[in-house]
Chain A
Protein backbone atom coordinates (compact mmCIF):
# COMPACT_ATOMS: atom_id res chain seq x y z
CA UNK A 1 0.00 0.00 0.00
CA UNK A 2 2.72 2.43 0.98
CA UNK A 3 4.57 2.44 -2.33
CA UNK A 4 1.40 3.22 -4.27
CA UNK A 5 1.54 6.68 -5.79
CA UNK A 6 -0.91 8.88 -3.93
CA UNK A 7 -2.21 10.87 -6.91
CA UNK A 8 -2.82 10.08 -10.58
CA UNK A 9 -0.33 11.80 -12.91
CA UNK A 10 -1.45 15.18 -14.26
CA UNK A 11 -0.75 14.18 -17.89
CA UNK A 12 -3.05 11.17 -17.74
CA UNK A 13 -5.90 13.14 -16.15
CA UNK A 14 -5.47 16.01 -18.58
CA UNK A 15 -5.45 13.80 -21.69
CA UNK A 16 -8.54 11.84 -20.63
CA UNK A 17 -10.43 14.98 -19.66
CA UNK A 18 -9.42 16.70 -22.90
CA UNK A 19 -10.72 13.75 -24.91
CA UNK A 20 -14.01 13.77 -22.99
CA UNK A 21 -14.42 17.51 -23.60
CA UNK A 22 -13.75 17.16 -27.34
CA UNK A 23 -16.27 14.31 -27.59
CA UNK A 24 -18.88 16.37 -25.78
CA UNK A 25 -18.32 19.35 -28.07
CA UNK A 26 -18.49 17.18 -31.17
CA UNK A 27 -21.82 15.70 -30.09
CA UNK A 28 -23.42 19.00 -29.15
CA UNK A 29 -25.40 20.01 -32.24
CA UNK A 30 -26.59 23.31 -30.82
CA UNK A 31 -23.03 24.29 -30.16
CA UNK A 32 -21.88 23.29 -33.64
CA UNK A 33 -24.73 25.23 -35.20
CA UNK A 34 -24.16 28.35 -33.14
CA UNK A 35 -20.42 28.62 -33.36
CA UNK A 36 -19.39 26.84 -36.55
CA UNK A 37 -22.28 27.01 -38.98
CA UNK A 38 -23.50 30.53 -38.30
CA UNK A 39 -20.24 32.24 -39.37
CA UNK A 40 -20.25 30.24 -42.60
CA UNK A 41 -23.87 31.19 -43.35
CA UNK A 42 -23.22 34.85 -42.55
CA UNK A 43 -20.21 34.88 -44.80
CA UNK A 44 -22.20 33.36 -47.64
CA UNK A 45 -25.04 35.87 -47.20
CA UNK A 46 -23.16 39.09 -46.51
CA UNK A 47 -19.60 38.71 -47.72
CA UNK A 48 -19.97 36.89 -51.02
CA UNK A 49 -22.01 39.71 -52.66
CA UNK A 50 -19.44 42.35 -51.48
CA UNK A 51 -16.08 40.70 -52.01
CA UNK A 52 -14.59 43.71 -53.83
CA UNK A 53 -15.59 46.27 -51.22
CA UNK A 54 -13.32 47.92 -48.68
CA UNK A 55 -13.75 48.79 -45.02
CA UNK A 56 -11.30 50.88 -42.93
CA UNK A 57 -8.74 50.27 -45.63
CA UNK A 58 -9.03 46.49 -45.64
CA UNK A 59 -10.59 44.21 -48.25
CA UNK A 60 -14.19 43.58 -47.16
CA UNK A 61 -14.07 39.85 -48.01
CA UNK A 62 -11.07 39.36 -45.73
CA UNK A 63 -12.42 41.78 -43.11
CA UNK A 64 -15.67 39.80 -42.75
CA UNK A 65 -13.79 36.50 -42.81
CA UNK A 66 -11.78 37.68 -39.80
CA UNK A 67 -14.66 39.14 -37.75
CA UNK A 68 -16.90 36.11 -38.34
CA UNK A 69 -14.05 33.89 -37.20
CA UNK A 70 -13.90 36.20 -34.17
CA UNK A 71 -17.62 35.73 -33.57
CA UNK A 72 -17.03 31.97 -33.72
CA UNK A 73 -14.20 32.18 -31.17
CA UNK A 74 -16.36 34.23 -28.78
CA UNK A 75 -19.17 31.65 -29.17
CA UNK A 76 -16.83 28.74 -28.49
CA UNK A 77 -15.53 30.32 -25.30
CA UNK A 78 -18.93 31.46 -24.02
CA UNK A 79 -20.54 28.09 -24.85
CA UNK A 80 -17.82 25.85 -23.56
CA UNK A 81 -17.23 27.75 -20.35
CA UNK A 82 -20.65 29.31 -19.84
CA UNK A 83 -23.35 27.01 -21.19
CA UNK A 84 -21.38 23.84 -20.45
CA UNK A 85 -20.72 24.79 -16.83
CA UNK A 86 -24.34 25.87 -16.29
CA UNK A 87 -25.42 22.50 -17.74
CA UNK A 88 -23.04 20.60 -15.48
CA UNK A 89 -24.61 22.35 -12.53
CA UNK A 90 -28.08 21.48 -13.86
CA UNK A 91 -27.16 17.79 -14.22
CA UNK A 92 -25.24 17.94 -10.95
CA UNK A 93 -22.17 16.55 -12.69
CA UNK A 94 -20.18 19.12 -10.72
CA UNK A 95 -20.92 17.27 -7.45
CA UNK A 96 -19.46 13.94 -8.51
CA UNK A 97 -16.52 15.73 -10.09
CA UNK A 98 -15.84 17.62 -6.91
CA UNK A 99 -15.86 14.42 -4.86
CA UNK A 100 -13.36 12.85 -7.29
CA UNK A 101 -9.58 13.41 -7.12
CA UNK A 102 -9.23 15.55 -10.29
CA UNK A 103 -8.30 19.13 -9.40
CA UNK A 104 -10.49 21.95 -10.70
CA UNK A 105 -7.46 23.47 -12.41
CA UNK A 106 -6.72 20.31 -14.43
CA UNK A 107 -10.36 20.17 -15.39
CA UNK A 108 -10.41 23.82 -16.53
CA UNK A 109 -7.15 23.49 -18.45
CA UNK A 110 -8.60 20.53 -20.37
CA UNK A 111 -11.70 22.63 -21.12
CA UNK A 112 -9.50 25.48 -22.31
CA UNK A 113 -7.44 23.17 -24.53
CA UNK A 114 -10.55 21.68 -26.14
CA UNK A 115 -11.98 25.18 -26.69
CA UNK A 116 -8.75 26.33 -28.33
CA UNK A 117 -8.78 23.28 -30.59
CA UNK A 118 -12.32 24.10 -31.71
CA UNK A 119 -11.50 27.75 -32.19
CA UNK A 120 -8.51 26.79 -34.31
CA UNK A 121 -10.61 24.50 -36.52
CA UNK A 122 -13.12 27.29 -36.95
CA UNK A 123 -10.41 29.80 -37.86
CA UNK A 124 -8.96 27.35 -40.41
CA UNK A 125 -12.38 26.79 -42.02
CA UNK A 126 -13.08 30.54 -42.23
CA UNK A 127 -9.64 31.30 -43.65
CA UNK A 128 -9.99 28.64 -46.32
CA UNK A 129 -13.47 29.88 -47.21
CA UNK A 130 -12.49 33.56 -47.16
CA UNK A 131 -9.25 33.29 -49.09
CA UNK A 132 -10.73 31.08 -51.78
CA UNK A 133 -13.79 33.34 -52.13
CA UNK A 134 -11.72 36.52 -52.46
CA UNK A 135 -8.89 34.86 -54.36
CA UNK A 136 -6.51 36.71 -52.04
CA UNK A 137 -3.83 34.62 -50.41
CA UNK A 138 -2.51 35.73 -47.05
CA UNK A 139 1.20 35.13 -46.43
CA UNK A 140 1.92 32.57 -43.70
CA UNK A 141 3.24 35.19 -41.28
CA UNK A 142 0.07 37.21 -41.55
CA UNK A 143 -2.09 34.10 -41.11
CA UNK A 144 -0.24 33.22 -37.93
CA UNK A 145 -0.56 36.80 -36.70
CA UNK A 146 -4.33 36.69 -37.34
CA UNK A 147 -4.72 33.30 -35.61
CA UNK A 148 -2.74 34.41 -32.54
CA UNK A 149 -4.83 37.59 -32.24
CA UNK A 150 -8.07 35.61 -32.59
CA UNK A 151 -7.07 33.09 -29.93
CA UNK A 152 -5.33 35.31 -27.38
CA UNK A 153 -7.87 38.09 -27.77
CA UNK A 154 -10.65 35.63 -26.87
CA UNK A 155 -9.30 35.27 -23.31
CA UNK A 156 -11.73 37.82 -21.77
CA UNK A 157 -14.60 35.68 -23.08
CA UNK A 158 -13.24 32.59 -21.35
CA UNK A 159 -13.52 34.44 -18.04
CA UNK A 160 -16.88 36.00 -18.93
CA UNK A 161 -18.27 32.59 -19.91
CA UNK A 162 -16.99 31.01 -16.71
CA UNK A 163 -18.50 33.78 -14.58
CA UNK A 164 -21.87 33.47 -16.33
CA UNK A 165 -21.80 29.67 -16.10
CA UNK A 166 -21.31 29.89 -12.34
CA UNK A 167 -23.71 32.75 -11.72
CA UNK A 168 -26.61 31.96 -14.06
CA UNK A 169 -29.65 30.04 -12.93
CA UNK A 170 -28.80 26.61 -14.45
CA UNK A 171 -32.26 26.21 -15.99
CA UNK A 172 -31.92 29.47 -17.91
CA UNK A 173 -28.15 29.37 -18.39
CA UNK A 174 -28.13 28.33 -22.02
CA UNK A 175 -30.66 30.93 -23.14
CA UNK A 176 -29.05 33.75 -21.14
CA UNK A 177 -25.54 33.02 -22.34
CA UNK A 178 -26.54 32.67 -26.00
CA UNK A 179 -28.31 36.00 -25.72
CA UNK A 180 -25.24 37.64 -24.18
CA UNK A 181 -23.19 36.19 -27.00
CA UNK A 182 -25.46 37.61 -29.71
CA UNK A 183 -25.74 41.03 -28.09
CA UNK A 184 -21.98 41.37 -27.58
CA UNK A 185 -21.17 40.11 -31.05
CA UNK A 186 -23.76 42.32 -32.73
CA UNK A 187 -22.95 45.51 -30.84
CA UNK A 188 -19.20 45.00 -31.18
CA UNK A 189 -19.15 44.73 -34.94
CA UNK A 190 -18.38 41.04 -35.03
CA UNK A 191 -21.56 40.17 -36.94
CA UNK A 192 -22.30 43.44 -38.77
CA UNK A 193 -19.65 46.11 -39.45
CA UNK A 194 -20.11 48.91 -36.91
CA UNK A 195 -20.12 51.54 -39.64
CA UNK A 196 -23.49 50.26 -40.82
CA UNK A 197 -25.07 50.56 -37.35
CA UNK A 198 -26.67 53.73 -35.89
CA UNK A 199 -24.32 56.25 -34.35
CA UNK A 200 -25.32 55.73 -30.72
CA UNK A 201 -24.67 51.99 -31.06
CA UNK A 202 -21.13 52.80 -32.14
CA UNK A 203 -20.73 54.73 -28.91
CA UNK A 204 -22.08 51.88 -26.79
CA UNK A 205 -19.79 49.43 -28.56
CA UNK A 206 -16.69 50.93 -27.02
CA UNK A 207 -17.64 49.74 -23.53
CA UNK A 208 -17.81 46.13 -24.71
CA UNK A 209 -14.72 43.90 -24.86
CA UNK A 210 -15.93 42.60 -28.24
CA UNK A 211 -15.34 46.00 -29.84
CA UNK A 212 -11.65 45.96 -28.89
CA UNK A 213 -11.36 42.33 -29.90
CA UNK A 214 -12.77 43.15 -33.35
CA UNK A 215 -10.26 46.02 -33.68
CA UNK A 216 -7.41 43.72 -32.72
CA UNK A 217 -8.48 41.18 -35.35
CA UNK A 218 -9.01 43.48 -38.32
CA UNK A 219 -5.81 45.40 -37.61
CA UNK A 220 -4.01 42.23 -38.70
CA UNK A 221 -5.52 42.72 -42.19
CA UNK A 222 -4.34 46.30 -42.47
CA UNK A 223 -7.53 48.02 -41.29
CA UNK A 224 -7.07 51.43 -39.65
CA UNK A 225 -7.70 51.10 -35.90
CA UNK A 226 -6.34 52.37 -32.59
CA UNK A 227 -2.67 51.53 -32.06
CA UNK A 228 -1.88 47.93 -31.06
CA UNK A 229 -0.53 48.95 -27.65
CA UNK A 230 -3.84 50.57 -26.73
CA UNK A 231 -5.84 47.54 -27.90
CA UNK A 232 -3.66 45.14 -25.93
CA UNK A 233 -3.87 47.35 -22.86
CA UNK A 234 -7.67 47.58 -22.97
CA UNK A 235 -8.12 43.85 -23.58
CA UNK A 236 -5.70 43.02 -20.75
CA UNK A 237 -7.69 45.27 -18.43
CA UNK A 238 -10.91 43.50 -19.49
CA UNK A 239 -9.27 40.12 -18.91
CA UNK A 240 -8.15 41.11 -15.43
CA UNK A 241 -11.57 42.53 -14.50
CA UNK A 242 -13.45 39.53 -15.89
CA UNK A 243 -11.03 37.14 -14.18
CA UNK A 244 -11.88 38.80 -10.87
CA UNK A 245 -15.57 38.49 -11.70
CA UNK A 246 -15.06 34.80 -12.54
CA UNK A 247 -13.26 34.12 -9.26
CA UNK A 248 -16.00 35.95 -7.35
CA UNK A 249 -18.76 33.98 -9.12
CA UNK A 250 -16.89 30.72 -8.49
CA UNK A 251 -16.43 31.43 -4.79
CA UNK A 252 -20.05 32.48 -4.42
CA UNK A 253 -21.26 29.32 -6.15
CA UNK A 254 -18.95 27.14 -4.02
CA UNK A 255 -20.24 28.83 -0.89
CA UNK A 256 -23.82 28.20 -1.97
CA UNK A 257 -23.47 24.56 -2.92
CA UNK A 258 -20.53 23.27 -0.91
CA UNK A 259 -20.41 24.92 2.48
Chain B
Protein backbone atom coordinates (compact mmCIF):
# COMPACT_ATOMS: atom_id res chain seq x y z
CA UNK B 1 0.00 0.00 0.00
CA UNK B 2 1.62 3.24 -1.01
CA UNK B 3 -1.03 5.75 0.04
CA UNK B 4 -0.46 7.33 3.45
CA UNK B 5 -3.42 9.70 3.62
CA UNK B 6 -6.57 9.43 1.58
CA UNK B 7 -9.54 11.78 1.52
CA UNK B 8 -12.43 10.63 -0.66
CA UNK B 9 -15.18 13.04 -1.60
CA UNK B 10 -14.94 14.80 1.75
CA UNK B 11 -17.37 17.53 2.70
CA UNK B 12 -17.23 19.48 5.93
CA UNK B 13 -19.73 22.09 7.03
CA UNK B 14 -19.66 24.30 10.10
CA UNK B 15 -23.27 25.33 10.46
CA UNK B 16 -24.06 27.02 7.15
CA UNK B 17 -20.43 27.46 6.15
CA UNK B 18 -19.16 24.82 3.74
CA UNK B 19 -15.44 24.59 4.47
CA UNK B 20 -14.79 21.58 2.22
CA UNK B 21 -16.91 20.69 -0.80
CA UNK B 22 -16.04 17.29 -2.20
CA UNK B 23 -12.30 17.16 -1.58
CA UNK B 24 -10.39 14.19 -3.07
CA UNK B 25 -6.79 13.95 -2.05
CA UNK B 26 -4.12 11.26 -1.82
CA UNK B 27 -0.77 11.67 -0.14
CA UNK B 28 1.68 8.95 -1.19
CA UNK B 29 4.09 7.33 1.22
CA UNK B 30 7.44 9.04 1.37
CA UNK B 31 6.46 12.22 -0.43
CA UNK B 32 6.31 15.82 0.68
CA UNK B 33 2.87 17.04 -0.29
CA UNK B 34 2.00 20.71 0.06
CA UNK B 35 -1.52 21.88 0.35
CA UNK B 36 -1.48 25.40 -0.93
CA UNK B 37 -4.27 27.89 -0.85
CA UNK B 38 -5.43 31.32 0.26
CA UNK B 39 -6.63 31.90 3.83
CA UNK B 40 -9.99 30.26 4.41
CA UNK B 41 -9.50 27.81 1.51
CA UNK B 42 -9.91 24.80 3.82
CA UNK B 43 -6.29 23.86 4.55
CA UNK B 44 -6.57 23.74 8.33
CA UNK B 45 -9.96 22.01 8.14
CA UNK B 46 -8.39 19.32 5.94
CA UNK B 47 -5.59 18.79 8.44
CA UNK B 48 -8.08 18.57 11.35
CA UNK B 49 -9.91 15.81 9.48
CA UNK B 50 -6.68 13.92 8.73
CA UNK B 51 -5.80 14.09 12.44
CA UNK B 52 -9.22 12.87 13.50
CA UNK B 53 -9.75 16.11 15.44
CA UNK B 54 -12.89 16.67 13.44
CA UNK B 55 -15.27 14.36 11.62
CA UNK B 56 -16.26 14.86 7.98
CA UNK B 57 -19.89 15.77 7.24
CA UNK B 58 -19.68 13.39 4.26
CA UNK B 59 -16.97 11.27 2.64
CA UNK B 60 -14.18 9.19 4.14
CA UNK B 61 -10.75 9.85 5.59
CA UNK B 62 -8.17 7.06 5.95
CA UNK B 63 -4.69 7.42 7.37
CA UNK B 64 -2.10 4.61 7.11
CA UNK B 65 -5.02 2.35 6.28
CA UNK B 66 -6.91 3.10 9.54
CA UNK B 67 -9.38 5.60 10.91
CA UNK B 68 -7.59 8.89 11.58
CA UNK B 69 -8.38 8.96 15.31
CA UNK B 70 -6.90 5.49 15.90
CA UNK B 71 -4.24 5.79 18.63
CA UNK B 72 -1.99 3.40 16.70
CA UNK B 73 -2.03 5.87 13.80
CA UNK B 74 -1.34 8.76 16.15
CA UNK B 75 1.61 6.82 17.60
CA UNK B 76 3.17 6.83 14.11
CA UNK B 77 2.38 10.48 13.33
CA UNK B 78 3.73 13.81 14.42
CA UNK B 79 1.91 17.09 14.22
CA UNK B 80 2.53 20.80 14.27
CA UNK B 81 -0.73 22.72 14.52
CA UNK B 82 -1.69 26.34 14.26
CA UNK B 83 -3.15 27.82 17.41
CA UNK B 84 -2.33 25.01 19.75
CA UNK B 85 -0.50 25.28 23.04
CA UNK B 86 1.32 23.46 25.78
CA UNK B 87 1.45 24.10 29.55
CA UNK B 88 3.18 27.44 30.13
CA UNK B 89 4.86 26.64 33.43
CA UNK B 90 6.86 23.66 32.18
CA UNK B 91 10.30 24.05 30.60
CA UNK B 92 11.00 23.14 26.98
CA UNK B 93 12.82 19.97 28.03
CA UNK B 94 10.02 18.92 30.41
CA UNK B 95 7.36 19.29 27.73
CA UNK B 96 9.43 17.34 25.19
CA UNK B 97 10.12 14.62 27.79
CA UNK B 98 6.44 14.33 28.57
CA UNK B 99 5.51 14.01 24.90
CA UNK B 100 8.31 11.47 24.36
CA UNK B 101 6.51 9.14 26.77
CA UNK B 102 3.39 9.12 24.57
CA UNK B 103 5.17 7.35 21.69
CA UNK B 104 6.38 3.75 21.43
CA UNK B 105 9.72 4.60 19.75
CA UNK B 106 10.70 8.18 20.54
CA UNK B 107 14.02 9.73 19.48
CA UNK B 108 16.23 11.06 22.31
CA UNK B 109 14.87 14.25 23.87
CA UNK B 110 18.14 16.12 23.32
CA UNK B 111 18.05 15.20 19.62
CA UNK B 112 14.54 16.58 19.16
CA UNK B 113 15.54 19.80 20.92
CA UNK B 114 18.69 20.08 18.78
CA UNK B 115 16.74 19.48 15.55
CA UNK B 116 14.48 22.34 16.53
CA UNK B 117 17.50 24.54 17.32
CA UNK B 118 16.30 25.12 20.88
CA UNK B 119 19.35 23.93 22.86
CA UNK B 120 19.88 27.34 24.45
CA UNK B 121 16.23 27.45 25.58
CA UNK B 122 15.95 23.86 26.82
CA UNK B 123 15.60 24.95 30.45
CA UNK B 124 13.38 27.98 29.81
CA UNK B 125 9.72 28.00 30.68
CA UNK B 126 7.38 27.72 27.71
CA UNK B 127 5.57 30.88 28.86
CA UNK B 128 8.69 32.96 28.25
CA UNK B 129 9.35 31.86 24.67
CA UNK B 130 8.93 34.16 21.67
CA UNK B 131 6.52 33.25 18.87
CA UNK B 132 9.28 31.83 16.68
CA UNK B 133 10.78 29.82 19.56
CA UNK B 134 7.37 28.43 20.33
CA UNK B 135 7.06 27.25 16.70
CA UNK B 136 10.41 25.51 17.15
CA UNK B 137 9.14 23.80 20.28
CA UNK B 138 6.08 22.54 18.39
CA UNK B 139 8.43 21.20 15.75
CA UNK B 140 10.40 19.34 18.45
CA UNK B 141 7.11 17.86 19.69
CA UNK B 142 6.18 16.85 16.14
CA UNK B 143 9.41 14.87 15.60
CA UNK B 144 9.92 13.42 19.11
CA UNK B 145 7.87 10.30 18.31
CA UNK B 146 10.05 9.37 15.31
CA UNK B 147 6.97 9.66 13.07
CA UNK B 148 6.49 8.02 9.67
CA UNK B 149 3.97 10.71 8.87
CA UNK B 150 4.26 14.41 9.72
CA UNK B 151 1.57 17.05 9.51
CA UNK B 152 2.88 20.59 9.44
CA UNK B 153 0.10 23.17 9.38
CA UNK B 154 1.52 26.56 8.33
CA UNK B 155 4.74 25.75 10.18
CA UNK B 156 6.81 28.79 9.22
CA UNK B 157 4.29 31.50 10.06
CA UNK B 158 6.02 34.02 12.30
CA UNK B 159 9.54 32.72 11.57
CA UNK B 160 12.28 35.09 10.45
CA UNK B 161 14.14 34.33 7.19
CA UNK B 162 17.06 32.57 8.85
CA UNK B 163 14.84 30.38 11.01
CA UNK B 164 12.75 29.51 7.97
CA UNK B 165 15.86 28.35 6.06
CA UNK B 166 16.92 26.23 9.01
CA UNK B 167 13.44 24.77 9.15
CA UNK B 168 13.45 23.94 5.45
CA UNK B 169 16.71 22.02 5.92
CA UNK B 170 15.09 20.05 8.71
CA UNK B 171 12.10 19.20 6.55
CA UNK B 172 14.37 18.10 3.70
CA UNK B 173 16.37 15.84 5.98
CA UNK B 174 13.16 14.31 7.39
CA UNK B 175 11.93 13.72 3.85
CA UNK B 176 15.28 12.16 2.88
CA UNK B 177 14.72 9.61 5.64
CA UNK B 178 11.62 8.46 3.80
CA UNK B 179 8.99 10.09 6.01
CA UNK B 180 5.73 11.26 4.54
CA UNK B 181 5.15 14.97 5.10
CA UNK B 182 1.97 16.89 4.61
CA UNK B 183 2.60 20.61 4.66
CA UNK B 184 0.12 23.42 4.42
CA UNK B 185 1.38 26.85 3.53
CA UNK B 186 0.43 30.02 1.81
CA UNK B 187 4.06 30.73 0.91
CA UNK B 188 4.45 29.60 -2.69
CA UNK B 189 8.21 29.75 -2.42
CA UNK B 190 8.03 27.23 0.42
CA UNK B 191 5.83 24.79 -1.49
CA UNK B 192 8.08 25.14 -4.56
CA UNK B 193 11.27 24.56 -2.58
CA UNK B 194 10.15 21.58 -0.51
CA UNK B 195 7.42 19.57 -2.20
CA UNK B 196 7.33 16.59 -4.48
CA UNK B 197 3.72 17.42 -5.23
CA UNK B 198 1.48 20.39 -4.63
CA UNK B 199 -2.28 20.48 -4.34
CA UNK B 200 -3.93 23.84 -4.77
CA UNK B 201 -7.06 24.19 -2.72
CA UNK B 202 -9.54 27.00 -3.12
CA UNK B 203 -12.89 27.35 -1.39
CA UNK B 204 -12.99 23.75 -0.25
CA UNK B 205 -11.97 22.08 -3.52
CA UNK B 206 -8.76 20.86 -5.08
CA UNK B 207 -8.38 22.94 -8.24
CA UNK B 208 -4.96 21.73 -9.40
CA UNK B 209 -2.45 19.10 -8.43
CA UNK B 210 1.00 18.06 -9.60
CA UNK B 211 4.74 18.59 -9.21
CA UNK B 212 5.80 22.22 -8.87
CA UNK B 213 6.94 22.25 -12.51
CA UNK B 214 3.73 20.55 -13.68
CA UNK B 215 1.68 23.20 -11.94
CA UNK B 216 3.71 25.93 -13.53
CA UNK B 217 3.53 24.12 -16.90
CA UNK B 218 -0.18 23.38 -16.63
CA UNK B 219 -0.86 27.06 -16.72
CA UNK B 220 1.96 27.80 -19.14
CA UNK B 221 2.16 31.44 -18.20
CA UNK B 222 4.97 33.58 -19.53
CA UNK B 223 6.24 36.78 -18.02
CA UNK B 224 6.86 39.36 -20.76
CA UNK B 225 8.75 42.62 -20.15
CA UNK B 226 9.71 45.31 -22.65
CA UNK B 227 9.75 49.06 -23.17
CA UNK B 228 8.23 51.20 -25.89
CA UNK B 229 9.08 54.58 -27.40
CA UNK B 230 5.90 56.22 -26.15
CA UNK B 231 3.87 55.07 -23.10
CA UNK B 232 1.52 52.27 -24.07
CA UNK B 233 -2.23 52.61 -23.64
CA UNK B 234 -3.95 49.63 -22.02
CA UNK B 235 -6.63 49.88 -24.75
CA UNK B 236 -4.03 48.89 -27.32
CA UNK B 237 -3.89 45.45 -25.73
CA UNK B 238 -7.65 44.99 -25.51
CA UNK B 239 -8.86 41.60 -26.69
CA UNK B 240 -5.41 40.03 -26.44
CA UNK B 241 -4.58 37.03 -24.19
CA UNK B 242 -3.09 39.10 -21.35
CA UNK B 243 -3.64 37.83 -17.81
CA UNK B 244 -1.94 40.62 -15.92
CA UNK B 245 -0.69 43.99 -17.08
CA UNK B 246 1.49 46.60 -15.40
CA UNK B 247 2.36 49.89 -17.10
CA UNK B 248 4.97 52.20 -15.62
CA UNK B 249 6.02 54.99 -17.96
CA UNK B 250 7.52 53.36 -21.02
CA UNK B 251 7.97 50.02 -19.23
CA UNK B 252 5.46 47.25 -19.88
CA UNK B 253 5.24 44.11 -17.77
CA UNK B 254 2.59 41.51 -18.58
CA UNK B 255 1.75 37.88 -18.01
CA UNK B 256 0.30 35.88 -20.85
CA UNK B 257 -0.48 32.30 -21.85
CA UNK B 258 0.28 33.21 -25.49
CA UNK B 259 3.11 35.77 -25.58
CA UNK B 260 3.72 35.28 -29.34
CA UNK B 261 0.15 36.36 -30.08
CA UNK B 262 0.53 39.51 -27.99
CA UNK B 263 3.83 40.52 -29.53
CA UNK B 264 2.55 39.84 -33.08
CA UNK B 265 -0.40 42.15 -32.46
CA UNK B 266 1.89 44.91 -31.19
CA UNK B 267 4.21 44.57 -34.17
CA UNK B 268 1.34 44.74 -36.64
CA UNK B 269 0.14 47.96 -34.97
CA UNK B 270 3.59 49.36 -35.69
CA UNK B 271 4.56 49.62 -32.02
CA UNK B 272 8.32 49.28 -31.55
CA UNK B 273 9.38 46.98 -28.77
CA UNK B 274 12.79 47.32 -27.07
CA UNK B 275 14.60 45.36 -24.35
CA UNK B 276 12.29 42.38 -24.75
CA UNK B 277 12.46 39.68 -22.05
CA UNK B 278 10.29 36.58 -21.94
CA UNK B 279 10.54 34.30 -18.89
CA UNK B 280 8.75 31.22 -17.55
CA UNK B 281 5.96 32.09 -15.14
CA UNK B 282 6.52 31.78 -11.41
CA UNK B 283 4.49 29.51 -9.19
CA UNK B 284 2.91 32.63 -7.81
CA UNK B 285 1.57 33.62 -11.21
CA UNK B 286 0.26 30.09 -11.76
CA UNK B 287 -1.40 30.15 -8.37
CA UNK B 288 -3.07 33.52 -8.91
CA UNK B 289 -4.20 32.43 -12.37
CA UNK B 290 -5.70 29.16 -11.10
CA UNK B 291 -7.52 30.58 -8.11
CA UNK B 292 -8.73 33.51 -10.18
CA UNK B 293 -10.02 31.16 -12.91
CA UNK B 294 -12.10 29.14 -10.45
CA UNK B 295 -13.49 32.34 -8.95
CA UNK B 296 -14.68 33.44 -12.38
CA UNK B 297 -16.23 30.04 -13.08
CA UNK B 298 -18.02 30.19 -9.75
CA UNK B 299 -19.43 33.66 -10.38
CA UNK B 300 -20.61 32.63 -13.84
CA UNK B 301 -22.31 29.50 -12.49
In the bound complex, residues from chain A placing their C-beta under 8 Å from that of B103 are 8, 101
Closest residue of chain B to A91, judged by CB?
B85
Q: Is the CB of A103 within 8 A of B101?
A: no
A-B contact pairs, 19 of them (CB 8 A): A6-B72, A7-B71, A16-B100, A20-B98, A23-B94, A24-B90, A88-B87, A92-B84, A92-B85, A95-B85, A96-B84, A99-B52, A99-B79, A100-B74, A100-B99, A101-B74, A101-B75, A102-B102, A258-B53
In the bound complex, residues from chain A placing their C-beta under 8 Å from that of B94 are 20, 23
In the bound complex, residues from chain A placing their C-beta under 8 Å from that of B87 are 20, 24, 88, 91, 93
* A259–B145 alpha-carbon span in the complex (Å): 26
Q: Tell me how far the C-beta of A8 lies from the nearest C-beta in chain B, rounded to whole angstroms.
A: 5
* A79–B81 alpha-carbon span in the complex (Å): 28
Q: Tell me how far the C-beta of A84 lies from the nearest C-beta in chain B, rounded to whole angstroms.
A: 9
A residues near B, CB below 8 A? 1, 4-9, 12-13, 15-17, 19-20, 23-24, 27-28, 88, 91-93, 95-96, 98-103, 258-259
Given contacts A17-B98, A19-B98, A23-B94, contact A99 B74 (CB under 8 A): yes
Closest residue of chain B to A27, judged by CB?
B89
In the bound complex, residues from chain B placing their C-beta under 8 Å from that of A7 are 71-72, 75, 104
Q: Determine if B88 is an interface residue (Cβ-Cβ < 8 Å).
A: yes
* A145–B99 alpha-carbon span in the complex (Å): 38
Q: Is the CB of A95 within 8 A of B105?
A: no
Q: Is the CB of B101 within 8 A of A96?
A: no
Interface of B is mostly: loop
In the bound complex, residues from chain B placing their C-beta under 8 Å from that of A28 are 89
Contact of B104 among A6, A23, A96, A102 (CB under 8 A): A6
Chain B residues 62 to 81 lying within 8 A of chain A, measured CB to CB, are 71-72, 74-76, 79, 81
Q: Tell me how far the C-beta of B71 lies from the nearest C-beta in chain A, rounded to whole angstroms.
A: 5
In the bound complex, residues from chain A placing their C-beta under 8 Å from that of B98 are 16-17, 19-20
* A145–B164 alpha-carbon span in the complex (Å): 60
Q: Is the CB of B102 within 8 A of A100?
A: yes
Q: Is the CB of B74 within 8 A of A5?
A: no
Q: Is the CB of B90 within 8 A of A23?
A: yes
Q: Tell me how far the C-beta of A115 lies from the nearest C-beta in chain B, rounded to whole angstroms.
A: 16
* A204–B203 alpha-carbon span in the complex (Å): 56
* A8–B103 alpha-carbon span in the complex (Å): 5
Q: Determine if B141 is an interface residue (Cβ-Cβ < 8 Å).
A: yes
In the bound complex, residues from chain B placing their C-beta under 8 Å from that of A23 are 89-90, 94
* A16–B101 alpha-carbon span in the complex (Å): 6
Given contacts A8-B103, A13-B101, A20-B90, contact A96 B81 (CB under 8 A): yes
6 interchain residue pairs of minimum CB distance: A16-B101, A91-B85, A101-B74, A96-B84, A27-B89, A101-B75
